[in-house]
Structure 1
């Protein structure tokens, strides 16, 4: 594909930052493929930095910028967790509410025990629900390498829930479940009487000034590729709260800043969300359960690991064409966001490198 697939020159990602910070961040850019669009945002004390490399697509005409949108994958779950904490702060829902209260009659997983699944179980991956909904994989196979979940609707999900197995006692063990967090988004929708995206916009994104964070179309986005072909934008109509958001380095910088400096974050009082959103930002990072196998602690969706540099709070995600990482260290007042249009084989390496960068920035 020649120059069409590999632009002749890439813009320098570090034109204005210190040599020391450029040295720390360079491995993130080298662990994405040469044709990837990459955006990295850093908070370090009073310092705020965004560095970008690459182009929106393989035409090589439009460079990635701080306001370019990327697919967040499972980093979306941290927004759903913040929405849950905000609705708890308002008194609209409680962490120990059973999910049955907010689902149609008969559209509830069968429990092997008398203990019901609660909202907190969904937000801490302790529900016992499987990773993905029953029936999703067969419908997704024909589109597995492009947009596998696009035709699996909320109606499909509600029909699948009664056939969904619950493994063990809810609350007993951490088992990662995208279904659980996506179901949490649906539960919050039903509790508030608003669609997930509308609810998230009014309670979280608008008050925090996240102007380019949404599930749908928006400002210019990076295009993903597989084997030289464009991959359609990721869609997850049944479970938007699990992995459907897109955002920019600018917006994610504001999102992390809100977690690091709760009292200083400018939330317009007229929105009515200032008190409840600040309470939610404090609540969302509190550890709730411990992962027996890894020793990591689970907050509301966020993972927390103790290190010599302090408590590292983080979440990673991916879609068919993108990788994303978001993390922060409250004691060091450090935050890092890294987003890239990555090839499948480089996703884990990219997010692991981002985690190591967060540790080094904290030191």
Structure 2
């Protein structure tokens, strides 16, 4: 098998910082991917929601190739003809005032941290170097040193200190804990609307509304990390819409490019991003014309092809099917849109063995936190595709 050769190369020459399933993929289209030995699989992970529009979407591909033939990179030393339209289209779609483009999701988080700290000093009047940002236990916002400094996952933190100070950790879903944690030095509350990496943990109804009220009343910037939940994944453009709120800063990435190119962005009101002046923050590749052209096509694809509403309808159908599976070792099936988690009891022997069995049947998904399987197929999935998936998932998860 060709896959064995590629796996050996990875293991010999690559850092062992991931533990992937042993499948070696070489091409994809829509919800389907093929390995180097020609076997076809349904992708139920979507590169952690980066390919919401499906693999190799032809309209995004066309935008990529057309722009690549004209101009790929200028740096921000000069202007380009894609950046301005990208800003306007993204602001119009999300009702934002300002955009700061970056590349990875972690860079967007780092950008937000820098911006709200400076806002705290210049606008709120927090004493220099005293700014506090409140975050939630079991969060996942990235892998940089500053970001893991407020992680509660020992795998993310052990052996990587010393850590960046200035963060306070509270329980997720507890608005009262937020209220109690706020001090005169608190500049922001950074939170995921749904904790994805923690296992699709959904907060109680009304939580985000309470959070929005508390932040408004206390002069605290509300930052929503929608890098995984945004851009249609939960059946709304942004997950904040489920509770009818608007964050002060919203972080998006992943599906912003449909999986073709690293693109992320900080969406903001004018007040917060207005504190940044030339030379204080940036990125050589952030806002490059190739990224902007791809992102514009990716956004059009989401809206023009009805993928956001499809995520809502197909997500409800998928969860109904998963909840019919009869296995007392399944603790809970939960989700919103096409971001779904199936959690097993601790004595079930771990979730990875189920993922490995599903791979053998032609379906790819991935475990998280040992006991949870995350199902998150591309938003182009149809009812008959979900039926196909459930025919394979039900027998495996019933074992």
What TM-score does the superposition give when structure 1 sets the normalisation length?
0.28
Structure with higher Rg: it is 2
